[in-house]
Structure 1
Amino acid sequence: MLNIIAISGSLRVASTNSALVAALARNAPPGCQVTVYDRLGHLPIFNPDDEGERTPPEAALLIDAVTNADGVIVSCPEYAHGVPGGLKNALDWLVSRDAAVGKPAMLVHASPRSLFARSALAEIIRTMSFALYDGAELEVGLLGKKAPEVAAILAEAENVLAVRKALTTFADFIRSR
């Protein structure tokens, strides 16, 4: 069983990115378990002085979750043409650890307009030595939709199939490494 951790880069309660990672967890194909990491807003601000034995417990939970996962999926909004600070902070907690090195990662998108954040996040992920999977991009257009609309869109057969296909190809990528 592959253990994949999915992270939404948004802290909003009604986040479309969070809805997308929840859909990934609900629609995981056989042989895959997708666990949503939902503690982004609880992480302290990264400080290199607080690494090692001084690592805060909340940061240690994230580090352990990524270390123990077979792969990582990130869905990220775009704020002012960049990656949201909370997500960047979480990634900073992983920088000096081995958790990211060679770890398969895939980006998924809830908005067709997040092009700057996509590019920036891909650069960050590659710089951190994640093995970024570019084989099957998953984009479900949820931008500007209210929660009931988001739920309906994510439940549409074509979107459920797209989610499963993306997860299946990502799982194949993980197994091939």
Structure 2
Amino acid sequence: MLNIIAISGSLRAASTNSALVAALAANAPADCRVEIYDGLGRLPIFNPDDEGERTPPEAARLIEAVTRADGVIVSCPEYAHGVPGGMKNALDWLVSRDAAVGKPAMLVHASARSLYARAALAEIMRTMSFAMYEEVVMEIGLLGKRPAEMEAMLTEQANRQAMRDAVQAFVGFIRGR
């Protein structure tokens, strides 16, 4: 059984990205478990002076979760053509650790409009030595939808199958490494 950690780069309560990672976790294939990391908003701002013995508990929890995961899935909004600060901060906590090195990662998208953030996030993660899985693009256009509309879209059989297929393809990538 593979363990995958899913991270939403949004702190918004009615986040489309958080809804997407929750739906991915709920629709994961039987041969993997997708755990959602929910501590993004509790991470202190990264400071290299706070690494090692001084690593804050929430940062240590993130580092441990990524370290023990077989793979990472990220769904992230775009703010001002870039990666939101909270998501970048989380990655900064991982940058000097081995947690990211060679770790399989896949980006999924809740909006077709987040092209700049997609490119920036992929570049950041490649630079950190994540092994990016980019063969399948998982996108469900949830932008602008109310929670009930998101729920309806995410429970449509075609979208549920698309999520299962994307995660299964990612599982194949992880196992093939």
* Corresponding position of 2:2: 2
1:54 aligns with 2:51: no
Alignment gaps of 5+ in structure 2: none
For 1:165 and 1:31, the matched residues in 2 are separated by: 12
Q: Which residue of 2 aligns with 1:130?
A: 130
2:95 matched residue in structure 1: 95
Q: Give the residue type in structure 1 aligned to 2:6.
A: A
Q: Secondary structure at the match of 1:121?
A: helix
Which residue matches 2:66?
Answer: 66
Partner AA of 1:68 in structure 2: R
Structure 1 counterpart of 2:112: 112
Give the structure 2 partner of residue 22 of structure 1: 22
Distance in 1 (alpha carbons) for counterparts of 2:14 and 2:143: 11
Q: CA offsets per residue over residues 36-74 of structure 1, 9 Å max, x none?
A: 001100000000000011100110000000000000000
Q: Secondary structure at the match of 2:80?
A: coil
**Per-residue deviation, 1:135:** 1.2
| Distance of 1:135 and 1:68 partners within structure 2 | 24
Correspondence 1:150 to 2:150? yes
User: What is the rounded CA distance, in whole Å, between the counterparts of 1:75 and 1:125 in structure 2?
Assistant: 13
Aligned AA (2:28): A
Q: Secondary structure at the match of 2:82?
A: coil
Provide the rounded CA distance (Å) in 1 between the counterparts of 2:34 and 2:169.
Answer: 14
* TM-score, with length taken from structure 1: 1.00
Which SS does the other structure have where 1:168 is aligned? Answer: helix
TM, length-normalised to structure 2: 1.00
SS of equivalent residue, structure 1 residue 107? strand
Cα-to-partner distance string for 1:16-45 (whole Å, 9 max, x where unaligned):
000000001100001100000011000000
| Structure 1 residue runs of 4 or more that deviate by more than 2 Å after TM superposition | none
RMSD in angstroms over aligned alpha carbons?
0.3
Identity %: 76
Residue number in structure 2 paired with 1:78 = 78
Distance 1:137 1:175 in 2: 19
Number of aligned residue pairs: 177
Cα distance between partner residues in 1 of 2:137 and 2:38: 22
Opposite residue 87 of structure 1, the aligned amino acid is: M
Deviation at 1:2, TM superposition (A): 0.3
User: In 1, Cα distance between the equivalents of 2:4 and 2:80?
Assistant: 29
